[in-house]
Structure 1
Amino acid sequence: MIPGVHEDEDHRGRSRYTLTETEHGHAWGACAEADGLFGEPERGTYELFGWVPEGEVGAWVGHRVWLVPDDDSLEPWLLEDAESLGRLTATDSLVLTGLDDYEGPPEGHRGRVRVHDGRQWLGSCREFTRVLPPRRSTPPLVLRGLTQGDELRAALAKGTRRALDLEQAALEIRDHQGEQLTERLLWTRVSAWRPSPHDTDLIDLELDGAFWTPVPEHARPIWEQWFTGPPATKAAWADLDTRRRWAWHDLVRERTAYRTIADRPAGHAYELDGRHVTDEPGLYLALGEAVNGPGGYFGGCLAAIDDCLGGTFGYTAPATLLWHDAATAREHLSHVLSSDGHPYDLFALVLDLLAEGGMHVTLA
């Protein structure tokens, strides 16, 4: 155990959250509660002028939405977890928001742009621009009932601006059994601290929210379910919509990073329940559970599946896979769009990839 952080062995929740310094690995502190873990991340806002619809645009537009310029010399722009704010009143514009790392189109860019969500074309506009959002205050991340590590105690005793800048850290997050579920990297600067009402030896530590990206609110029920532990049965995600299936898959993938998966011997026979493979995350979730059981991971894109086929993810070639209700995946995944809008057959590509990796697939 790291000196200065005392965990209650009979109370796993005491160490639900551990704030760890990433360079040297010491723990700043551990606690059971965190306020500000969930919220709305800062999103890019785009106004699409002269919007001409080709398909239906709902409030949630898609996991990956691509804005594809007619100018072939320009790459498409990506909006992740895109939402629509609808049509602007008295204009012909549509407003989309999403997570992005871009500053918008090249300065002076003008020209038609088509928009798709990876499944279908949604429409086009004569041009678009990134709208700078108004400045907003960001709520802090508050670690409540924190047991202080020696290094944090020393930093708070100094109290200087330099001492309170904790730089990069990882917030390690565990489930009720004390198993690590995931972590979040952040730049940490202490903005306040006070004695905790939980215990005189504990503090409530407030970290500047400007250096923290919260988990989206739509993922909160998924996280709360996983806090109780991994699912006991397959397809616990089946009733979720596509957006929340992606949130489920994120936790499946992240949790796997903290575990060693023993490869089964060659010749193993797997079975895939294909009844719920109605979208892309459903494909990866069903495949992961076919290979590694409830809550199991076996890739989240073609490149990741290829990596998993190479070993250390529960699989050794050659093997067999019986894919039940394969017609469902064929119906929903045989016509999808690449980033630049070219159609391809994702179902067929997955079958080819599995075959190349030594997994003989029988469709049923």
Structure 2
Amino acid sequence: MRGDRGQREPGRYALTDSEDGRVWGVCAEVEGLFNEPRRAICELLGWVPDGAEVRGWVGHRVWLVPEDRTLDPWLLEDAESIGGRRQTDALVLTGRDDWMGPPEGHRAPVRLHDRYRWLGSCREFTRVMPHETTAPSLVLRGLSPSGRLRRALATGTRRALDLDEARLWIRDDNGRPLADRLLRPKIRAWRPSAHGPDLIDLELDAALDEPLPGHALPIWDRWLAGPPQTPGVWACLDTRQREAWLDLVRERGCRLRHQGRPAGSAYELDGRHITDEPSLFLALGEAVNGPGGYFGGCVDALADCLRGTFGYTAPATMLWRDIAPAREHLSHVLTPEGEPYDLIALVLEVLAEGHMRVTFA
């Protein structure tokens, strides 16, 4: 976390041993937490768009559907278009590549969609992996080291400085758990910190299992200050930022102990801002669990929440105010294979199966 983002509480970050949970140290700032994940490059030769030209950010989940239907579609996450090759008919996309595909050396035609609409097709697909780059280090600034860490630093051997597997726990400014990241850190360097006596700046040679992209930084800054106090704070965000907001709501929500409301409770859902899939689940989460609340991030997770310990006790009722935007934007979405279905009808069906009776206003 950058140190120029406002006042930080001393114990915002805690580095712990992932096996026994013992703390290596706590600090106020972490540099290098936000780094762009490694992205694959896809070149689509003979690109023919279905409608508007594909530019800029394309979608959180873009599916590539091979013409050969014996092959499964594969996923390009957080896909961006970097335009076409000069004097060619190719479109170039980058994104986080699905580890399930495509088949090695696949160059046959594919068709693309972003779950909302078909984007286009190409006669030949080429996947190019970027050059390997050295993972940036993490610097824990103003770290208050435990006795165990001090002994490791005093020993100074390679074995002592290899922390094996660790977890970086992240709390908001109220001290509430927000998220965590798994690390396999080796201590690269340490020095006295300008943050105070007996504190150190600890530099780790550590690759994050789940790096945080730069576009999520404003969302994290908002949540690190504490959870929202009013519903719908996310409504002004675009789809990409809403996805980042939902990711954080999911991480936090799965760690909280939810106080279950009694059977027969009545909920109210504000549907005015449901124009994409993340906003649907953000609105559902806030309807059940209040501002910033979580109640599933996809249909399967929603079904789990209806059966689990996420603040809901069956039976209950929900008044869905203004369902028109949701029906307009989400009644015709696409499966990975590109088959259309009605997401709103499916969600209403899942809610009914969970004994949530929905009415409309």
Same fold (TM over 0.5): yes
The answer on whether the counterparts of 2:296 and 2:302 sit within 8 Å (CA) in structure 1 is: yes
Give the 3 Å change call, closer, same or farther, for CA 144–351 of structure 1 in structure 2: same
- 1:213 CA displacement: 4.5
The answer on whether the counterparts of 2:262 and 2:313 sit within 8 Å (CA) in structure 1 is: yes
Query: Unpaired segments of 5 or more residues in structure 2?
Result: 1-6
2:230 maps to a residue whose letter is T
Give the 3 Å change call, closer, same or farther, for CA 252–108 of structure 1 in structure 2: closer
The answer on whether the counterparts of 1:274 and 1:286 sit within 8 Å (CA) in structure 2 is: yes
Partner of 2:274: 277
* Greater mean alpha carbon deviation, residues 332-341 or residues 200-209: 200-209
> Which residue, 14, 22, 29 being the options, matches 1:18?
14
> TM-score, normalising length from structure 1?
0.94
- 1:153 CA displacement: 1.5
Partner of 1:124: 121
5 Å-filtered alignment, 1:62-81, equals 62-81=59-78
Partner of 1:319: 316
Matched residue count: 354
Give the 3 Å change call, closer, same or farther, for CA 228–174 of structure 1 in structure 2: same
5 Å-filtered alignment, 1:86-165, equals 86-102=83-99, 105-165=102-162
Q: Distance in 2 between matches of 1:114 and 1:187?
A: 38
Query: How big is each residue's C-alpha offset from its partner over 1:36-85, in whole Å with a ceiling of 9 and x where there is no partner?
Result: 11121111111112111113323111010001101111111101111111
- Is 1:207 paired with 2:204? yes
The answer on whether the counterparts of 2:268 and 2:318 sit within 8 Å (CA) in structure 1 is: yes
- Is 1:55 paired with 2:51? yes
SS in 2 for 1:13: coil
Q: Distance in 2 between matches of 1:229 and 1:218?
A: 19
Q: Distance in 1 between matches of 2:79 and 2:8?
A: 37
Give the 3 Å change call, closer, same or farther, for CA 155–344 of structure 1 in structure 2: same
The answer on whether the counterparts of 1:36 and 1:214 sit within 8 Å (CA) in structure 2 is: no
1:29 maps to a residue whose letter is G
* Greater mean alpha carbon deviation, residues 234-243 or residues 45-54: 45-54
SS in 2 for 1:331: helix
Give the 3 Å change call, closer, same or farther, for CA 174–126 of structure 1 in structure 2: same
User: Equivalent pairs: percent with the same residue?
Assistant: 65
* Greater mean alpha carbon deviation, residues 270-279 or residues 154-163: 154-163
SS in 1 for 2:352: helix
Query: Unpaired segments of 5 or more residues in structure 1?
Result: 1-10
Give the 3 Å change call, closer, same or farther, for CA 214–110 of structure 1 in structure 2: closer
SS in 1 for 2:142: strand
- Is 1:38 paired with 2:47? no
The answer on whether the counterparts of 1:104 and 1:130 sit within 8 Å (CA) in structure 2 is: no
Query: How big is each residue's C-alpha offset from its partner over 1:111-142, in whole Å with a ceiling of 9 and x where there is no partner?
Result: 21000000001011112122121233432110
Give the 3 Å change call, closer, same or farther, for CA 213–303 of structure 1 in structure 2: closer
SS in 2 for 1:167: coil
The answer on whether the counterparts of 2:139 and 2:202 sit within 8 Å (CA) in structure 1 is: yes
Query: How big is each residue's C-alpha offset from its partner over 1:153-186, in whole Å with a ceiling of 9 and x where there is no partner?
Result: 2221222222222122111011111111111112
The answer on whether the counterparts of 1:47 and 1:95 sit within 8 Å (CA) in structure 2 is: yes
> Which residue, 256, 260, 265 being the options, matches 2:257?
260
1:19 maps to a residue whose letter is L
- Quote the RMSD (CA, aligned, Å): 1.6
Q: Distance in 2 between matches of 1:93 and 1:162?
A: 50
- 1:108 CA displacement: 4.2
Partner of 2:234: 237
> Which residue, 23, 27, 43 being the options, matches 1:27?
23
SS in 2 for 1:157: helix
> Which residue, 281, 294, 297 being the options, matches 1:300?
297
* Greater mean alpha carbon deviation, residues 179-188 or residues 102-111: 102-111
